[in-house]
Amino acid sequence: MKFNTTTETVQTATIALDGRLDAVNSPALREELAKIMGSGVHEITLDLSELEFVDSAGLAALVSAMKTCRQNGGDLELIRPRSDAAYRVFELTKFDSVFKIRSAS
Amino acid sequence: MYELTLDADLEELRKLADWLRLLLSEDPSVTDVEAEVGGMELAIHELAVNIVVHGYKRSPGSIRFEATRHADAWDFVLTDTAPAFQQDLVAEPDEPQEHGYGLMIIRQLTRDFSTTRIDNTNITRLTFDAAPLAASTSAEGAS
C-alpha cells in the first residue's frame, strides 16, 4: 500500500477589537476583513472579548465576513465578549447559535 | 422628565450611553446601572441609527430624546423631522442575513414600541419595564 500524503498550510488571521463595534466603525472593520479575505485568508478569529457594545450594524459586518469565509471553505470564529451587554445582540438575534463562538481563555 | 437633543450623526449617538447612565443613576430602584443601561442603550441606539440612516439619509438634522420614569416603566420619546420612512419595511430575518435586525432587537427589549407622524414630525415611543417604585419615591415627572 502506498500513501500519497499532501500537506497544506492554512493561513489564519486573528483580529482583536475593543471598545464599540457599531454603525460608526463597522465600515472600517468590513474594510479590514475584506483586505484579509482578499489575500486568501478565510480562517479568521475575531477576538471580541474586550468589546463593550455591539449593535446590529456591527453584527452585520460579522455576518458578512462569516458568509464569505464559509463560501471559501473557511470560517469566522468569535471569542465571546466578556461584557454581557455586548453579547446581548448575538442572543437577541439568535446569532449565538450561528457563529462559532468560544470564551476567552 | 429628562431631555437630550443630539445632531443626527452616528458619532453623536454615542453620547446616549452617558445620558442613560445619568438618569438611571437617579432611579432609586436601580442597583446596577451598568446592567440596566445596556438593553436600553441598544434599543434606543438602534432606533436612532434608523432615523439617521433611513430617515435623514445622513443629511443634517437632529433627534430629541425625552425620558420619563413612571411607576413601573421608563418611557422614552424620540422626536425628529426626517422624511417619513416605514419602520416596518425594514426586513426581519428568517435566515442568516446581514440587515434588518434593528427592529427585531427593539421589539424584544421594549414593552411597547410605536411611531406616529404629526405635522412633519416623527414621534417614536419606547417603553421599558422597570422595577416598581415605592409610593414615597415615585418619580413620575421628576427631573
Nearest to A56 among B35, B37, B102 (CB): B102
pLDDT, mean of residues B96-122: 88
In A, which residues are within 8 Å of B49 by CB distance? Answer: 22-23, 55-57
C-alpha cell at B46: 438602534
Nearest to A56 among B14, B37, B105 (CB): B105
- A20 and B104: CB-CB below 8 Å? no
What is the gyration radius of the CA atoms in chain A, in angstroms? 15
Question: How does residue B142 score in pLDDT terms, banded at 50, 70 and 90?
Answer: very low
pLDDT, mean of residues B109-117: 95
Nearest alpha carbon to residue B131 among B72, B70, B67: B72
- Each residue's pLDDT expressed in tens, for chain A with a length of 105 residues: 888 888 878 899 999 999 999 999 999 999 999 999 999 999 999 999 999 999 999 999 999 999 999 999 999 999 999 999 999 999 999 999 999 999 987
In A, which residues are within 8 Å of B13 by CB distance? Answer: 23
Measured between alpha carbons, how far is A97 from A76 in angstroms, rounded to an integer?
13
Nearest to A60 among B38, B42, B98 (CB): B98
For B108, nearest residue in chain A (alpha carbons): A92
What is the gyration radius of the CA atoms in chain B, in angstroms? 15
pLDDT of residue B143: 42
Q: What is the pTM of this model?
A: 0.88
